Amino acid sequence: MIAIMIAGGVAALCSLFGTRFLIIWFTKRGQGQPILGKEDHGPEHHMGKQGTPTMGGLAIVVAALIGWIVAHVRQIAFSDQAMIVWIGILAMSAMGLLDDWIKVRKRHNRGIFWKQKNYITMLMSFGVAWWLVSSTGIQETISLTRAGDLGFDVPQVVWVLWAGLVIWATTNAVNVTDGLDGLAGGSALMGFGAFTIIAYWSFRNPDIYAVVNPLDMGVLAAAFAGACLGFLWWNAAPARIFMGDVGALAIGAALAFLALTMNTHLLLILICGINVVEAGSVAVQMGVFKASGRRRRLFKMSPVHHHFELSGWPETTVIIRFWLLSAVFVALALAIFIADFTRVAGG
């Protein structure tokens, strides 16, 4: 428990001061976020935010890494599983950083062509999933709250394909959510908090949860929670800095890896409930648009947070209400997890 607290506290402080440093650094160099305008069917009502420093997710990733490392000093040993997870997170973050850098250099909110970016991140997701299952004792099951609870034992190749899709989908869902000040960071903070509880619970009950190195994964989750907390000080509306793809892809990958290593694959749907809603709104919007012969749209704009803005909701209202929805989703996920534990332990 001490290691978890150290990871969260150190990461929060590093993120708080690190984000402030990035704001000054990027502002001096004029490296601000370009916004899609009317000609690109973008959120024209956000044009006033153009020029706000971006790539603030660097502070989240670096702070979480520092918090995770510091927590291991005389506390716990480094695990192979967490090291592989970190490599996957950093690889996704590097892809996001490249995308952000191209956007800033071109002064246009189109970085890597979206199809190329999707293909690359998908291949990376499958690669890390294969590495994870071939090098650690992770359970090759599709689970809700613990390994074997649903009885979905699958061949290794199927698990790799499933896990790769989970990683890829989660990174994209968080990236889609990152469209309002503090929305992605606030919802991710709740998700990492949930995984911190789940990991520690699994650590304390090894006979029920067949999890590899649950304490180390709990430290990782706490580190990211702390890093998101420190970043939100500057990213809350009106944002002084944006997260950028460098942060969104890293956060999405971290959430996915935590779900996979903690055998809570399907519970991730609730823990990242607001991200599922946001990504789902984009898919539904595209489906309706194509089915109608490119004449009709279900929402005024997608992701759905823009629909509510265009319906007259102030940005802060949308953010807070979406945070509340995220809290409900996360609370429901934890309730399911604890209820299952109570049933198994009581039996």
Q: How far apart are CA 13 and CA 50, in angstroms?
A: 28
DSSP annotation of 46 reads: G
pLDDT score of 336 = 96
CA distances from 96 to 7, 19, 56 (A): 24, 17, 11
Q: What are phi and psi of 271, to 5 degrees?
A: -60, -35
**Residue 328, domain member (yes or no):** no
* Continuous segment of H or E residues that includes residue 234: helix 214-235
Adjacent-strand bridge partners of 142: 152
Q: How large is the greatest C-alpha to C-alpha distance in the chain, in angstroms?
A: 63
Question: For the chain, what is the domain count?
Answer: 1
Cα 64 vs. chain centroid, distance in angstroms?
Answer: 13
**Residue 327, domain member (yes or no):** no
Q: How far apart are CA 1 and CA 75, in angstroms?
A: 10
Q: How far apart are CA 57 and CA 94, in angstroms?
A: 11
Q: What are phi and psi of 138, to 5 degrees?
A: -60, 145
Q: How far apart are CA 39 and CA 36, in angstroms?
A: 8
Q: Is 49 exposed, middle or buried (0-12, 13-18, 19+ CB in 10 A)?
A: middle
**Residue 51, domain member (yes or no):** yes
Q: How far apart are CA 239 and CA 180, in angstroms?
A: 9
**Residue 339, domain member (yes or no):** no
Domain interval for residue 92? 2-265
- 229 neighbors 60 (Cβ within 8 angstroms): no
**Residue 259, domain member (yes or no):** yes
**Residue 316, domain member (yes or no):** no
131-149 residues labelled b (16+ CB within 10 A) or e (exposed): ebbeebebbbbbbbbbbeb
Structure tokens of 336? 């399911």
Q: How far apart are CA 251 and CA 322, in angstroms?
A: 18
What is the number of helices (H) and of strands (E) in the chain?
Answer: 12, 2
Adjacent-strand bridge partners of 53: 32
pLDDT score of 156 = 93
pLDDT score of 37 = 46
**Residue 342, domain member (yes or no):** no
Structure tokens of 137? 């004792």
**Residue 245, domain member (yes or no):** yes
Mean pLDDT, 10 residues at a time, over the chain (347 residues)? Answer: 93 97 85 53 54 87 97 85 95 91 70 71 95 90 88 90 96 92 94 97 91 93 97 92 93 97 95 95 88 82 86 92 96 96 82
- 243 neighbors 231 (Cβ within 8 angstroms): yes
